[in-house]
Chains A and B, each alone.
Chain A
Amino acid sequence: MRNLFAFLFRYHVFFVFILLEIIAVGMLIQSHYYQASRFASSSNAWSGQILEHFRNSTDYFSLKKMNHLLAEENALLKNRIQKSAMQISPVKKGQYEYISAKIIKNSYNKRNNYLTINKGSMHGIENGMGVCINDGVVGIVRDVTKHYATVMSVLNKNTVISTRFAKSNHFGELLWDGKSHYFAQLHSIEKYVDVSVGDSLITNSFSSIFPEGITLGTVNRFQRDETENFYTIEVDLSVNFGNIDYVYVIKDMLKEERLELESKQNE
């Protein structure tokens, strides 16, 4: 027993090192599980508050630009109301609720980017909700606390967005290769599909995260490799991640109904 203690004491630095590394790598591995709740994220109360205070104090520099953007958006939405009043079918009416939120932490130059917003479970935000701005898709809500939430940006290796061409129904998956925050990559588009530069991509109705028809971007470049069955397509993202302040979180009122129905198929 004494030898054991002597041994432990002699190499205690190494053991402390191994223990701490196991904790750190454990956190990293846990972060790859989508549903697990994570304590160590910027949505927790005190770090959220610090980030929010700092963001508030730097906000004054962009007030003018923000006013302009909001005015433009208002005009666009007014137009859309008029148009859609005639189109929306009564069943779908009110299916989606939009919750506006302010970004208090933004990042777009890491391999895995997360944003933090100033709304949380208190305002009805839940894990897995879609986040967008007027121009397009921003990401998916991940960790939620009472007052804050983190958003897994489109610019993250773990984000996959189901998308389709606006002109046809061919669908694929949007992923990000980590190189430029202006471009993402579209996968799983088969070679027989007709693709041209400038084709716009929108969200499809396969998942209950986003409503159908939110813009993602346009085809910037594509390549047809003879040895592969799929195109390599580069998408010019419509959202400029370096320049977003306010976002909308999308709440699907019929999500549970849909998930319940879909889960019956698996039984």
Chain B
Amino acid sequence: MNKGFQHIVRFIILIAVQVLIFNNVQISGYLNPYVYILFIMLLPPKLPKALVLILAFVMGFTIDIFADSYGIHTAASVLLAYIRPSILSLVSVKGGEDLEDISIKQLNFGRFFTYSGILCLIHHFTLFYLEAFRLNEFFDTFTRALFSTAISLLLILMIESLRSNPQKR
């Protein structure tokens, strides 16, 4: 399958899953999983960085529209995309330049966990603090962000391991 087409399909599927399923699973205010960021994480490392930023913007903006969150997902996603290259160079030798694309197979589980974990943490903390928009709920927002990061990361790793081993499905 064409690589570009594959990313477009992933974009649509992740938005659908996020908007129709995860935005409706309302267990508690402390558990808000956001799995759509997997799209930005899995973009090929060779893609121009400015293009990654623009794609992250489009992704965040779409989620913002459906969630009535007015720009917070956009801001957090763009930041994630901007930081991505530095985290990528943490987990790979040549800053990811040698990698065709990013997956558990390419990176191995430990390095993929570090990569997605750090990005997820940064994204969620930005998101929840922008949502609260004030510091007098500091600790409450902190717990929210932390718990939500854990659940998002778990879901992202689950989706990614299913995707990486299609023959075992």
Contact = CB atoms under 8 A, between A and B. Distances in A.
Say whether A and B bind each other. yes
Interface string B69-93: 1111011001101100000000000
Contact of B78 (A17, A38, A41): A17
A21 B20 CA distance: 26
A177 B72 CA distance: 19
Interface in B10-33: 19-20, 23-24, 26-29, 31-32
Interface stretch (B58-66, B152-160, B161-169): B58-66
Q: For the complex, would chain B's binding face be called helix, strand, loop or mixed by DSSP majority?
A: helix
Given A41-B70, A42-B68, A110-B32, A24 B26 contact: no
B163 to A, nearest CB: 24
Interface stretch (B98-106, B107-115, B116-124, B130-138): B130-138
User: Considering residues A24, A31, A54, A114, which has the most beta carbons from chain B within 10 angstroms of its beta carbon?
Assistant: A24
Nearest to B79: A21
A114 B60 CA distance: 18
B50 A13 contact: yes
Contact of A31 (B29, B71, B75): B71
B71 A16 contact: no
Nearest to A27: B71
A231 interface: no
A106 B24 CA distance: 8
B46 interface: no
Nearest to B26: A109
Contact of B70 (A28, A106, A108, A180): A28
A27 B29 contact: no
Given A27-B70, A109-B27, A44 B75 contact: no
Contact of A21 (B26, B78, B141): B78
Contacts of A116: 68
Contacts of B64: 27, 40
A17 B76 CA distance: 11
Given A13-B50, A109-B27, A41 B65 contact: yes
Nearest to A32: B133
A47 B66 contact: yes
Interface string A138-163: 00000000000010000001000000
Contacts of B42: none
A12 B60 contact: no
B151 interface: no
A27 B74 contact: yes
Closest 9 CB pairs of A and B: A27-B71, A31-B70, A114-B68, A24-B75, A24-B74, A28-B71, A109-B26, A13-B49, A109-B29
28 contacts: A13-B49, A17-B53, A17-B78, A17-B82, A20-B57, A21-B75, A23-B57, A23-B71, A24-B72, A25-B75, A27-B64, A28-B70, A28-B71, A28-B75, A40-B70, A41-B68, A42-B67, A50-B19, A51-B66, A54-B20, A108-B26, A109-B29, A109-B31, A110-B67, A110-B69, A110-B131, A111-B128, A179-B140
Given A42-B65, A51-B66, 5 more contacts: A20-B74, A41-B68, A114-B68, A178-B132, A180-B29
